[in-house]
Amino acid sequence: MEKGIIVYQSKYGAAKKYAGWLQDMTNFYCAERSKVTADEVTLYETVIFCGGIYASGIAGLSFLRKNMEKLKSKKVAILCVGASPYDENAFAEIKAHNLTGALKDVPLFYGRGAWDESKMKLVDRTLCKMLQKSVAKKDPGTWEPWMKTLMSAKGQSCDWTDRNYLSPLLDYLQK
């Protein structure tokens, strides 16, 4: 049996970047979600799933949810990647929204991602612009951390990825 695998789903590259860093730090095999099967994943002792956060959902998590029965004897962890700075309340909401059923007890970790409207697909760019207009109508003193990020990143290219976000996950893997 192989030591570990990192399965990632990345829309704009930040989750892929973290998966690559994890591969360098762990020597685990790394594969894009669309290029690996559940049967291949079961060959590994440790499974790390890495996906971006979009509209409160973790991209590709359905793969893990659908295959948790096959992975119940494995050490499984999830790294979610979002543009907002880490916020305990927002993280708790992401966890409550995504880690239900068979995923309820899977450890969840966070890495801050990137933002580049020029790389976004039209639908994502349009949704972000609509959200920015909505947030702009609110009192800035009431903005949540994700709202501040959304408004400050408007029209910019930002990369907040940092290997240091992986430390808690690496600590977990050593247990």
Helix axes 145-152, 122-136, angle to 10 degrees: 110
What lies within 8 Å, CB to CB, of 115 at 6+ separation is 83, 149, 153, 156, 157, 158, 159, 160
Q: Does the structure show a pLDDT above 60 at 1?
A: no
In this prediction, residues 10-15 reach a mean pLDDT of: 92
- pTM for the model stands at 0.88
pLDDT in tens, 48-73: 999 999 878 999 999 999 999 999 89
Please give the average per-residue pLDDT across 67-88, as a whole number. Answer: 93
Phi then psi dihedrals of residue 115, to 5 deg: -150, 125
